[in-house]
Chains A and B, each alone.
Chain A
Amino acid sequence: MTNTRIFGYSNPLYGKNGDKFDFHISAEGTKEVKSEIVRLIHGDENPEGPGFVEEKINSNFQKNIQVERQYTQLGSYAVVKDDKDILHNLNDFSIYAFVYPTMTFGNRFNSEEKLKSSGKGRQTILGTWSVTDNKGYGLGINNEGHLEFWIGNGKVIDQIKCEVPIVSNFWFLVAVTFNSETKKATIYQIGAQNQWNSLEGTHVEIDFNSIVSEKLSILPEKSDKPFLFAGSHERNDDRGDFISLLYNGKIDTPSVTDYVLSKEEIFNILENQKPKKHIAIWDTSYGYDENGIDDIIFDVGPNKMNALGYNRPIRAMTGWNWKGKDDCFRLDNKQYGGISFHDDALIDCNWSVTSSWTPDKNAKSGVYALKISSKDKEEYIPFFVTPKNPKAKIAVQMSTFTYLAYANLALYFDGSITQAIYGMTPIISDEDIELYKLSEFGLSTYDHHNDGEGVCFSSWKRPIMNMRPKFRGGGVSFPWAFPADLSLLWWLENENYDFEIITDHDVHFGGVKVLKNYKTVINVTHPEYYSTEMLDATEEYLRDGGRFLYLGGNGYYWVTATCRNDPSCIEVRKLDAGSRAWEAKAGECYLMSSGERSGVWRSRGRAPQKLMGVGFTAEGMDRSEPFERMPDSFHKRVSWIFEGIGDNEIIGDFGLALGGAAGVEIDRYDLSLGTPINSKLLASSYGHSDNYPLVSEEITFNFPGRGGTQDPNVRSDIVFFNTLNNGAVFSVGSIAWSQALPCFGGKNNVGQIMKNVLNAFIKDGPLPGSQYIGDEKHWR
């Protein structure tokens, strides 16, 4: 195992030639790395394909880069802007908040053994606590799972805790009051569950309420660090200041008063009677508009000490007072005061810029990478260069949304169902293991946070280990998403097509204008994550005569949005019947970034079949199968697509992804889901194993026999249809398609079909065969 570690990311991830790309690099075990800019052409090292191909770019980019270790702050928290130091100069005070912890040991099974084995320490909910200085105050959960309030004067720490543990997945009103004269502190833990908001109902309610009062021995000393939600301050010599003792769970309406609240006043909060005056009251339900909410948490008290979230605390979550009827903040924002914090959330590594590069104005658009290497380690930091002045007729739309959604996937290690889904034993490399142990660069939208809640954000401001050219990922033995998409680029390059690349982000932000620059646009192997803007742009493009090749599986699937003030970050919530790695909780189905209901597009009235003619139907990872021609392919309208292909020729019984062109994730034609009626079913795959079961959204009532050997809906379809104004769509519902292209040096029947389609698509005027609008009339 190597001792050198080099990681990095590019910000932005995509840009036009002429734009500057900043590289953020962290390295351990070396001070200097060799560097060069390369253009990535093929990523899969499989010997049946061309192998790894890159092109060195003659740029004046530096040959060596000085590097250093950079640290990453994991975990979401919020920092209060308190310029007047009000929260540090409290004498008497009370702090209260509603909380919904998600990672405590007090699961009502007061097992001390369990507590020890979990190895999880203290969590701070609110306070100014500084771990290094032992100063300030904090309200949180101690390492025995009890609600605790602690203060420190630099030498002595004193604390008061509730008698019984606080419990995961229930709402509580927690409060502490402190009298500086008598040093008397009182801590309150009061159950706030109703029929809707907590894990269990009120009919089996346990007395969670614990109120403890005690004289403390010291007064807290000012910590000169900002007041935090969900964390404490710490410092060490190497790393400097950072946030530790992070909290897992929701916080709703945290508030501070500068006098001691009575027991009655605290109980009144549960009845929605707030104390008469506050010095801070962060109204976590304030700030929503119909398009969601930002990271600012507003203080609606007299001092306006707003808090700002880091690493994206999750908003648009149900609050303590959620009553079930209004299931979106747009219906009643007052019930959406919950903000969810996680100790392993990561949006932005915040590393300093190590190096930068600006591609030449005339540089070819493409997938570039900064290649950095030391003696025993090599790292690629890919980025996408799109053209400033588009010239080519073909554009390839790189699935940057999908790359983010899958970024640093760890599911195949943690999920016990993975092997059942894959239908085979996973194949793992040393790199996978190394990265899994590290778990330092955040999670994918397929993973769960430490407390078991699903991950809904993913960004490019962090090293993304599976967005690397040679990566064979996710426990499967073939490349997935980004490295797989390179197979398509290699083939286009090999066939000397003039093409440029654009990204999901370009289409999302630029709309139809971006697509309209091109005669035809190709989508890659797995464009699974789509925003409304992208769908609309694509639909408009096709209506206006654009031509589109959808060469992927399970595309146009999840309702996704970019964060309101941060294009690097996407948000998706997994729900509905989709094939989902996690499931949003009741009432938490709307995106905080756009106000839309997330889930699968099919449930929002835009099934993928409607746009592209095919939609997700099955997945499996044991074997891929070939296609065979269907009778429609002999119609003169479309028969030109099969020029050079025999009538009974098996198409794509080879491929770098499991040995076939139809596989991994496959889509099918379905009129009932909106496949256009003018679609021709050109070819279908056959012979899938039972490890390709029908996907869950296809199942209303379940019954046995819905695997590939028994269910006719388990297949991949190739569909063609014309759209208005000479537009057209050619869809292959299979991830493995593009990975079949590089076989036999690119000369194969999959490539032949591609060539037939592309050559026709890039020509102006009507498509070949479009004059044959009549059907056969019993002549034979």
Chain B
Amino acid sequence: MTIQENKKSTFYKVGRRHFEYRIIPKVNNVWNRTRFPFTKRHFLKWRGVYNINGLKRERLLKDKMPLWWLIGLSLVLFVTPNLSPQLIGVSSIFCIYSSINILWTLIVGTAGIFSFATLAVLGVSGYIAAAANVYMDIPWPYMFLIGAFTGFIFGTILAAPSTRLDGLYYALLTIGIAEICRVFVLQLRVLAPQNGSITKVDSFIPDKYFLQPEGMIIGFYASFLLLLFCLLIWRLINSERLGLLLRTAKNSREDEAFAEAIGIDFRRARLWVFIISSSALGFVGAFYAMYFKSISPTIFSIDQLMILFAMMVIGGIGRAEGAVVGAAIVTFIDKGLIELGPIRIIIIAIIMLVVTIFAREGITGARKQFRIFRLRKSGERRALRTEKNGEVMPEEATEIFDKQEIYYRRFNKRLRDNLKKIITPELIEEHKKNPTGNHSDSLARVLNFFRRADTADKYALKKIKKTNSKNVYQVIAFSGIKTHPPRIVDDKEYSELSEALHAVFILRVNDLLES
């Protein structure tokens, strides 16, 4: 047999230096690890690996998100005070919107309830807290409690239909509720003189500093704290028990059924997330009223809601970083570039459009999406350059642990190519006549190749006892996985063993010729 050179293959050089920082720990050094207080968690997640090329033990940062959060939040915290009062205001509003978005993300993403009543909860709580302060002279610190309690009650009421209604219907219902709230407030006779607003609300910003640079700074720090508070809630719900339970039931109906089957009460978990988030929204509502020292019916308006929705879509639904990044972009355009006038709304719409078209999961999901895209593209490119069961290319070789496999691929391809040439109708006829025993050299070669193939998908025969004590045979194929049963190849039954053996032979010849 001759070996032909494979002209098709082009081999590119592979291999690279590290592109990310790796720590090479000192031999026999004790690694003292510290934990986040009161938890079993560490500050950073590391991954220890053996680099088999460098024969070194290495330590990599497994999850870089905490670092990005630290950098992002520090930037906001330390840069904002040095900005103009107007931009400080923008930054504060960014913090408030981010907080609202994070809580909304909990409802939409973690709990999976498509609620548009976010601002309704926030508004109602804000109104009641403000009214308590203005009309009942309750001091401002209590407003937070009143807001949170209102949020809790309202959230509980809203949660009830969510168990009954699905997706779109529930979304419509909540939009309706927001609208009812707006109309209700507008029609309140007490508030008619102020067009439905409550003004002169007491606040953590002393009256003398209100709208003054000092007041702006106080407002910013307070908003920043609010953002941290909401992130903490996010963390506690999403990454702890409730979030874990819900993640099991998240992806599909089957997952829900599975979760239920193993005893996870995901409906209950969902309601709890909704109620806790609503309480927190109530808290934010009170904060909102205090920050602006007033609250007006616009809080219930559809356009306000849509701005928030835009933030989530742009940032990426279902993740905290999406909520924050989306809020940053939209707030900056909407409030920071106010001189642009109505155009800025168009810009937001365009961004939203571009993001939804190109990034399925918002800006923060773009990286992952790009990686998948890159993987698919390189797969496609590899597929173009190789034939089925062909040579291993250098870039594939890096993924094969046992290098002998690479040789097997090359060898088997050549062997198959040579065997294909000796398969003739006469050879098949020879096997048909006599499937066992002595064979011609050519047939023996072909059979030897078939017999020593790997177990996975290897054919065998199944003997089935019929009631008339005659046996029939069926072709099966092994799974190649321990304790996994073989599969049935087709439903043809052969009454003679020699027929069945020949059927297996024909299947194998077909597989060979197709490869």
Residues of A that sit less than 8 Å from B by CB = 47, 106-111, 158, 162-165, 167, 186, 190, 204-215, 217, 263, 267, 413-417, 419-420, 422-430, 433, 436-439, 450, 472, 475, 477, 622-623, 687, 689-690, 708-709
Contact = CB atoms under 8 A, between A and B. Distances in A.
Interface in B197-256: none
Contacts of A111: 401
Contacts of A424: 435-436, 501
Interface string B24-37: 01011111111100
Given A416-B452, A419-B451, A110 B49 contact: yes
B375 interface: no
A106 B47 CA distance: 13
Given A109-B401, A164-B50, A436-B485, A425 B57 contact: no
B463 A108 contact: no
Contacts of A215: 34-35
A457 to B, nearest CB: 19
B375 to A, nearest CB: 13
A192 to B, nearest CB: 13
Interface string B435-448: 11111000010001
B4 interface: no
B130 interface: no
27 contacts: A109-B401, A162-B48, A164-B50, A190-B28, A208-B57, A209-B27, A209-B57, A210-B57, A211-B31, A212-B31, A214-B33, A214-B35, A215-B34, A413-B455, A420-B448, A425-B459, A427-B473, A428-B460, A429-B465, A436-B483, A436-B485, A438-B483, A439-B482, A477-B497, A689-B437, A689-B438, A690-B439
Interface of B: 25, 27-35, 40, 46-50, 52, 55-57, 59, 401, 435-439, 444, 448, 450-455, 458-465, 469, 473, 476, 478, 482-486, 497, 501, 504
A414 B460 contact: no
A207 B56 contact: yes
Nearest to A158: B40
Given A205-B55, A420-B448, A439-B483, 6 more contacts: A186-B30, A206-B55, A420-B451, A427-B473, A436-B485, A437-B485
Nearest to A418: B455
A690 B444 contact: yes
B486 A428 contact: yes
A213 B28 CA distance: 12
A217 B40 CA distance: 7
Nearest to B508: A425
Contacts of B484: 437
A428 B463 contact: yes
Nearest to A622: B436
Contacts of B451: 419-420, 422-423
Nearest to B402: A109
Given A420-B448, A428-B463, A263 B30 contact: yes
B452 to A, nearest CB: 4
Given A417-B452, A419-B451, A108 B52 contact: yes
A208 B49 CA distance: 10
B437 A622 contact: yes
Contact of A108 (B25, B27, B50, B59): B50
A164 to B, nearest CB: 4
A106 B501 CA distance: 42
B436 to A, nearest CB: 4
Contacts of B59: 163
A111 B485 CA distance: 27
> Which of B437, B448, B486 is packed against the most chain A CB atoms within 10 Å?
B437
B508 to A, nearest CB: 9
A163 B48 contact: yes
B376 to A, nearest CB: 17
Chain A to chain B: the 4 pairs with minimum beta-carbon distance, closest first: A163-B48, A164-B48, A622-B436, A420-B451
Contacts of A477: 463, 497
Contact of A163 (B27, B31, B437, B461): B31
Nearest to B436: A622
Contacts of B450: 419
B463 A427 contact: yes
Contacts of A689: 436-439
Contact of A209 (B28, B401, B455, B482): B28
Contacts of A205: 55
B263 to A, nearest CB: 15
A430 B464 contact: yes
Contacts of B50: 106, 108, 110, 164-165, 167, 206, 208
